[in-house]
């Protein structure tokens, strides 16, 4: 371009694509190649000349796509001539009006605002002050003042890449200290009402960036999508029409409140989701909750430990006391103990009264209450320094916390009288021992489970001897020893092909004890398998019982009775869960829920997900159990009087009904699983997808004539140039 009679430059100027490439080279490449030198701006007049040639032809709107027009207008914005700068800002604003996709519109709005800022600077100073030093221009007093106070990112573009990398953003900020050798905290973040994980992560980026040397963060998406049927339905319909109401499913909620706020509809779904999140991505050291997420965090603090949920501290921002009637007894002053917490409110919060946040803090023992001058959701006003200080204190506390010793004192041991008390104490101390490990090591480090009152586990041979000579008064203690052969609590025992013995000892010894004390085990200890284990354990118990039939032929009646009990409990729970699924109210009919006074919705458990399946192998133990459950749920009436054909038909109906029931319940469970919710949000956040268009927009797009780029393709510049241009485009965004 700077060489006379340049055939390459002339050739590229003969096509619309070639002109665009030249503009990107002159306006964008120069700014990055010569960053920090006066040559950054040496080619601006070339870019401006080409851009004006294109823009002055009104057909450029149809010739170039929206992203391409963005690059066409940038040379005008970069000009120090107010006429061109103002025109560039207007053209950028026109782009915003032509974008129909919400996610893409945000990007263009950002560029339009930046263009407007450029225009205001030219109106004020007549030039860009941040270029003065490179261009050898002397800055005025007003320009010096502007340069010291400006937060515009483009003002830093004159600095070299090297200086930007090493120079701290805050001149008063000292260099970060060397990374601590303490393990990073692992924190779960819960967003507020009608937010989602991405929106909170993006808005609070300053906070999370400042904490990256202290903690890692997992951002949860609430399993419930917000819908506009309950709030502002008439207003939205009037504005957009019933069929064109804006999509709101990217907005997530943890529950829907009834009119009197005494019932939290579908909170059970969120609790199930959080439990599974702790299981799949946990454990977590603490939780940060905002608004409704802070209120949910308070509920979790009051309930824990339950299921897989257990954590050590909380940070609640703009929170409020849960009003659900079913949790009222848990929300009493000083009722949540041994849970360090920070409670933060904005003095100008117009949505949640400061008194409500302070009331929530009063539920915790020794809470730390902080305020900031902002409103309900003003992340830039949050007391980030105090939050970091609190987390460092928790990091030190958890790092130096000595493992809780097993209760060896005989007086303390004797104070635990029932089996459940001893089992709960054993589980509690086992979890505390695990919590002393760094979060990143907890999943892979298999600590042995030590019974309460002992210093180490008892080996398999000794346990079988004890079972063989069991006395009635020792039953609770022996069953506790059996429970300590597990590898996990509140979940089903994992299947490990390389270590089958480790996962089967619990079930074998439980069955051996059952053969000695069948009535006591069924009446007093059977339910503990579901309460402190999982539904998969019940299936494994059935299969292990079936395998032991050949070993204990004389005990066949007892073993068969145990199998029948497993089948009955599975069948009853599946029938209950299916009724719950059928009675789940439609998410769009919250008013009807209130009219019907649904006070205590209960969520379904993992029974269906861990229930046995009917396979094509009839001798498979799981298939046999599944068929037994199916026949229990759908008994065959007058089986003795039916022909073989009728009997097979009745069985087939029972089996198919069982399969459909399992599928229906699992479908509902899947919609509340962390993986499903995460994928759903990824899909909704994905750019340039056809599903974002309305039905009318898709039809209009399909009916439109083919693009001129298809019918009349133009010669393209070299691949390397194109690749470089796309890199610049990505950097520009």
209: domain CATH number is 3.40.50.1820
Identify whether residues 448 and 579 lie together within a single domain.
yes
* Cα–Cα nearest to 268, from 187, 324, 218: 324
My answer on whether 321 and 217 are in the same domain is: yes
**For residues 421 and 416, what is the distance between their CA atoms, to the nearest angstrom?**
6
Residue 589 lies in a domain: no
Q: How does DSSP classify residue 196?
A: -
pTM as predicted: 0.51
Report pLDDT for 313.
92
Q: Which region holds residue 716: left if phi is over 0, alpha if psi is between -120 and 50, else beta?
A: beta
143 and 205 inside one domain: no
Q: Is the peptide bond before 283 cis (omega within 30 degrees of 0)?
A: yes
Burial of 438 (0-12, 13-18, 19+ CB in 10 A): middle
Separation in Å, CA 342 to CA 215, 272, 278, 336, 339: 16, 25, 22, 13, 10
256 contacts 288 by C-beta, under 8 angstroms:
no
| Averaged pLDDT, 292-311 | 86
The yes-or-no verdict on residue 458 having pLDDT over 80 is no
Last residue of a domain, one of 596, 630, 664: 630
Do 384 and 506 reside in the same domain of the chain? no
pLDDT tens-digit profile of 108-124? Answer: 888 888 899 999 999 99
The continuous run of DSSP H or E covering 370 comes out as strand 368-372
Q: What is the mean predicted confidence (pLDDT) over 274-282?
A: 81
Asked, for residue 624, whether it belongs to a domain, the answer is: yes
- What is the DSSP code (8-state) at residue 605? -
426 and 354 part of one domain: no
Q: In this structure, is the dihedral angle defined by the CA atoms of residues 445, 451, 455 and 457, taken in order, positive or negative?
A: negative
What's the token pair of residue 101? 């996709």
Does 428 score more than 70 pLDDT? yes
Q: What is the CATH number of the domain that holds 47?
A: 1.25.40.10
Beta strands in 178-278 (DSSP E): 185-190, 215-220, 224-225, 252-253, 256-257, 264-265
**Helix (H) and strand (E) counts for the chain?**
35, 10
Q: What percent of the chain has pLDDT over 90?
A: 21
Is there a single domain that holds both residue 149 and residue 203?
no
Residue burial 34-49, b: 16+ Cβ < 10 Å; e: rest: bbeeeebbebbebbbe
Per mean pLDDT, which of 44-53, 370-379, 414-423 is the most reliable?
A: 44-53
φ, ψ dihedrals at 369, nearest 5°: -105, 125
| Beta pairing partners, 225 | 252
Neighbours of 619 (CB within 10 A): 7
Q: Is residue 600 in a domain?
A: no
Q: Decide the pairing of beta strands 256-257 and 264-265.
A: antiparallel
Number of folded domains that form the chain: 3
Residues 281, 133, single domain; the answer is: no
Question: What is the pLDDT, as a whole number, of residue 11?
Answer: 84
What are the angstrom distances between the C-alpha of 290 and each of 488, 548, 560, 692? 32, 53, 53, 29
Predicted local confidence at residue 1, as pLDDT: 66
pLDDT of 128 reads: 92
**394 CB-near residues (< 8 Å, 6+ apart):** 185, 285, 286, 312, 313, 340
pLDDT in tens, 58-83: 888 888 988 899 999 999 999 999 99
Asked if residue 625 belongs to a domain, the reply is yes
Report pLDDT digits (tens) over 140-172: 999 888 888 776 667 767 765 443 333 333 434
Task: Between 453 and 365, name the one with better pLDDT.
Answer: 365
Of 316 and 446, the structure prediction assigns the larger pLDDT to 316
Spatial neighbors of 229 by CB under 8 A, at least 6 apart, are 587, 588, 589, 590
Question: What is the per-residue pLDDT for 160?
Answer: 58
Return the pLDDT at 693: 60
Phi, psi of 185 (to 5 degrees): -70, 150
Question: Is residue 296 located within the same domain as residue 434?
Answer: no
Assess whether pLDDT exceeds 70 at residue 716.
no
Q: Examine residue 590 and state whether it is found in any structural domain, yes or no.
A: no
Could you tell me if residue 696 is inside a domain?
no
Task: Say if residue 275 is in the same domain as residue 298.
Answer: yes
- pLDDT at 609 (0 to 100): 86
pLDDT in tens, 16-57: 888 999 999 999 998 888 888 888 898 999 999 999 999 998
**Same domain assignment for residues 421 and 565:** yes
Q: Model confidence at 436, in pLDDT bands (50, 70, 90)?
A: low
pLDDT at 659: 92
Q: Which of 64-73, 181-190, 470-479, 496-505 has the lowest mean pLDDT?
A: 496-505
Residue numbers of the domain that contains 480: 410-583+606-630
**pLDDT score for 401:** 57
How many Å from the N-terminal Cα to the C-terminal Cα in the chain?
26
**How far is it, in rounded angstroms, from Cα 96 to Cα 66?**
9
- pLDDT value, residue 244: 42
Longest CA pairwise span in the chain (Å): 107
Do residues 357 and 212 both lie within one domain? yes
Q: With 50 as the cut, is the pLDDT of residue 703 above it?
A: yes
| Of residues 414 and 61, more confidently modeled | 61
Question: How would you classify the pairing of strands 224-225 and 252-253?
Answer: antiparallel
Residue 290 confidence (pLDDT):
92
Residues 167, 215 within the same domain? no
The mean pLDDT value for 582-599 works out to 45
Point out the least confidently predicted range of 165-179, 183-197, 326-340: 165-179
Is residue 552 included in any domain, yes or no?
yes
Instruction: Judge whether residue 316 has pLDDT over 80.
Output: yes
Residue 520 C-alpha from the chain's centroid? 44
Task: Give the pLDDT confidence of 334-349 residue by residue, as tens digits.
Answer: 888 888 999 998 888 8
Per-residue pLDDT band for 685 (boundaries 50, 70, 90) equals low
Residue 597 located in a structural domain: no
């Amino acid at each position: 371009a700077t060489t006379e009679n340049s055939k390459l430059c002339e050739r590229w100027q003969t096509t619309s694509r070639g002109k665009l490439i030249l503009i990107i080279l002159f306006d964008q490449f120069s700014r990055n190649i010569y960053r920090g030198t006066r040559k950054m701006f040496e080619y601006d007049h070339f870019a401006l000349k080409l851009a004006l040639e294109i823009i002055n032809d009104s057909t450029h709107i149809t010739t170039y796509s929206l992203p391409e027009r963005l690059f066409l207008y940038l040379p005008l914005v970069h000009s120090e001539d107010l006429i061109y700068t103002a025109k560039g800002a207007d053209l950028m604003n026109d782009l915003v009006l032509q974008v129909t996709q919400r996610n893409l519109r945000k990007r263009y709005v950002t560029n339009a605002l930046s263009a407007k800022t450029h225009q205001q600077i030219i109106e004020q100073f007549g030039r860009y002050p941040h270029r003065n030093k490179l261009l050898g221009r002397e800055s005025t007093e007003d320009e010096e003042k502007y340069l010291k106070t400006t937060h515009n990112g483009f003002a830093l573009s004159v600095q070299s890449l090297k200086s930007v990398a090493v120079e701290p953003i805050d001149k008063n900020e000292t260099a970060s200290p060397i990374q601590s050798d303490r393990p990073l905290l692992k924190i779960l973040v819960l967003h507020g009402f009608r937010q989602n994980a991405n929106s909170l992560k993006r808005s609070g980026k300053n906070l999370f960036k400042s904490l990256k040397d202290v903690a890692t963060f997992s951002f949860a998406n609430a399993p419930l999508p917000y819908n506009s049927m309950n709030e502002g339905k008439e207003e939205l319909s009037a504005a957009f029409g019933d069929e064109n109401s804006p999509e709101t499913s990217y907005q997530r909620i943890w529950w829907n409140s009834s009119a009197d706020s005494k019932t939290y509809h579908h909170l059970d779904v969120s609790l199930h989701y959080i439990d599974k999140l702790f299981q799949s991505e946990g454990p977590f050291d603490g939780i940060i909750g905002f608004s409704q997420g802070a209120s949910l965090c308070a509920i979790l603090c009051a309930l824990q430990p339950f299921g897989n949920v257990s954590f050590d501290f909380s940070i609640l921002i703009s929170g409020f006391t849960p009003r659900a009637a079913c949790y009222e007894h848990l929300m009493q002053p000083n009722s949540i103990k041994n849970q360090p917490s920070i409670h933060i409110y904005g003095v100008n919060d117009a949505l949640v009264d400061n008194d409500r946040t302070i009331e929530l803090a009063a539920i915790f023992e020794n809470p730390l209450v902080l305020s900031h001058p902002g409103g309900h959701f003003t992340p830039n006003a949050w007391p980030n320094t105090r939050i970091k200080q609190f987390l460092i204190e928790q990091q030190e506390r958890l790092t130096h916390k000595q493992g809780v010793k097993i209760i060896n004192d005989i007086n303390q041991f004797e104070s635990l009288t029932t089996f459940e008390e001893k089992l709960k104490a054993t589980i509690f101390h086992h979890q505390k021992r695990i919590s002393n490990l760094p979060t990143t090591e907890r999943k892979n480090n298999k600590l042995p489970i030590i019974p309460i009152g002992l210093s180490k586990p008892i080996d398999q041979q000794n346990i079988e001897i004890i079972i063989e000579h069991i006395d009635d008064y020792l039953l609770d203690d022996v069953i506790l020893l059996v429970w300590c052969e597990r590898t996990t609590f509140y979940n089903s025992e994992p299947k490990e092909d390389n270590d089958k013995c480790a996962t089967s000892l619990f079930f074998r010894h439980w069955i051996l004890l059952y053969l000695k004390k069948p009535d006591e085990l069924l009446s007093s200890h059977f339910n503990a398998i579901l309460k402190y284990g999982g539904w998969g354990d019940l299936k494994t118990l059935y299969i292990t019982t079936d395998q032991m039939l050949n070993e204990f032929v004389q005990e066949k009646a007892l073993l068969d009775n145990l199998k029948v009990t497993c089948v009955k409990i599975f069948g009853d729970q599946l029938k209950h869960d299916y009724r719950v699924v059928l009675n789940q109210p439609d998410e769009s009919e919250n008013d009807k829920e209130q009219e019907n006074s649904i006070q205590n919705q209960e969520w379904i458990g993992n029974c269906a997900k861990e229930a046995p399946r009917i396979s094509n192998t009839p001798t498979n133990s799981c298939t046999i159990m599944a068929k037994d459950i199916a026949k229990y749920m759908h008994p065959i009436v007058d089986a003795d009087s039916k022909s073989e054909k009728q009997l097979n038909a009745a069985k087939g109906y029972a089996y198919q009904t069982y399969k459909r029931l399992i599928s229906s319940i699992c479908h509902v469970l899947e919609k509340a699983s962390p993986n499903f919710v995460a994928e759903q949000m990824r899909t909704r956040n994905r750019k340039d997808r056809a599903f974002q268009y309305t039905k009318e927009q898709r039809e209009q797009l399909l009916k439109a004539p083919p693009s001129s780029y298809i019918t009349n393709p133009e010669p393209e510049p070299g691949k390397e140039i194109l690749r470089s241009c796309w890199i610049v485009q990505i950097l520009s965004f």
